[in-house]
């Protein structure tokens, strides 16, 4: 069978998933039909709390770098986390409730929910691993019913955000570092593990798991998945 004819995972069929395996999910453009980082920036523009021209310009620049595999994660996080330091946490939390209702709920894909449920029914350990910061993504993971989240950690001082990050950013090789830390701390391993992602930036982690799955993937990841015989699916 040629690679192009390789069957995709059929949602709702539990036969290929073994109990107690780790099911890892990227979030933006994988489980979500959009990018929560970008949408948070757009939401802040609509609130009038960031400069629209600067936000749009820098968002596009960083997104282009991300697609090209040249993103400077430190520069991006300095830009993306700065607004968190400019407003009280209580107000940010209020804004996030609106953000979920106005931006996120509509892009929580039904097929993503079905896929998550399939792994849940099989008894697998569910974990979202994302470069987007925990403030933005924590409530989204909760809405998907997934308790375990590895994300970039915005630094907090006395309960307020500083605008910096702590630990290793959860991006590219940083995802490998962070999952290895989690595995060590939780006495888990990657035996029979799945990882679902849309981006070539996740190749370092995709290459570690037993069942890498390209989901509505970019051109680079699609080509790599085809050449490697990986599963290729769509949740759209």
Closest CA to 222 of 234, 214, 212: 214
| Contact present, 130 and 37 (Cβ < 8 Å) | no
Domains and CATH numbers, the chain: 11-233 (3.40.50.1000)
pLDDT at 1 over 50: no
pLDDT at 162 over 90: yes
**Dihedrals phi, psi of 166, to nearest 5 degrees:** -120, 150
| Range scoring the smallest mean pLDDT among 32-36, 63-67, 95-99 | 63-67
- The mean predicted confidence, pLDDT, of the chain is 92
Q: Hunting for tokens 């409730």 — which residue is that?
A: 97
In 10 A of CB 146, how many CB atoms? 20
pLDDT at 60: 87
Q: Which residues pair with 126 in a beta bridge?
A: 23
pLDDT at 11: 39
The CA distance from 139 to 8, in Å, is 30
> Which CA distances in Å does 140 have to 18, 27, 174, 215?
26, 9, 21, 19
pTM: 0.90
Give the percent of the chain with pLDDT over 70.
Answer: 92
Q: What is the pLDDT of residues 174-226, one digit of tens each?
A: 999 999 999 999 999 999 999 999 999 999 999 999 999 999 999 999 999 99
* Residues with catalytic roles: 26, 28
pLDDT at 8: 34
The CA distance from 148 to 172, in Å, is 19
pLDDT at 15: 41
Q: Hunting for tokens 């709702």 — which residue is that?
A: 12
**Given pLDDT bands bounded at 50, 70 and 90, which one contains residue 63?**
confident
Helix axis angle, 36-47 relative to 52-68, nearest 10°? 170
């Amino acid at each position: 069978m040629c690679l192009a004819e390789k069957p995709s995972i059929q949602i709702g069929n539990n036969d290929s998933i073994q109990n107690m395996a780790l099911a890892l999910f990227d979030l933006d453009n994988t489980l979500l039909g959009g990018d929560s980082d970008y949408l948070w920036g757009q939401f802040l523009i609509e609130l009038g709390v960031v400069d629209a021209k600067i936000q749009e310009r820098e968002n596009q620049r960083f997104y282009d770098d991300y697609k090209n595999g040249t993103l400077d994660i430190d520069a991006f996080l300095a830009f993306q986390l700065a607004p968190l330091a400019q407003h009280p946490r209580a107000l940010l939390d209020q804004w996030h409730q609106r953000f979920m209702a106005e931006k996120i709920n509509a892009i929580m894909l039904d097929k993503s929910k079905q896929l998550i449920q399939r792994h849940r029914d099989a008894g697998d350990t569910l974990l979202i691993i994302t470069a987007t910061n925990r403030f933005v993504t924590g409530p989204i993971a909760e809405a998907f019913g997934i308790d375990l989240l590895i994300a970039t950690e915005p630094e907090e001082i006395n309960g307020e955000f500083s605008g910096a990050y702590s630990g290793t950013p959860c991006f590219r090789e940083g995802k490998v570092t962070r999952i290895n830390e989690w595995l060590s701390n939780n006495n888990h391993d990657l035996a029979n593990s799945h990882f679902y992602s849309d981006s070539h930036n996740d190749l370092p982690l995709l290459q570690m798991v037993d069942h890498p799955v390209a989901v509505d993937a970019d051109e680079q990841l699609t080509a790599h998945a085809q050449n490697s015989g990986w599963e290729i699916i769509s949740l759209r």
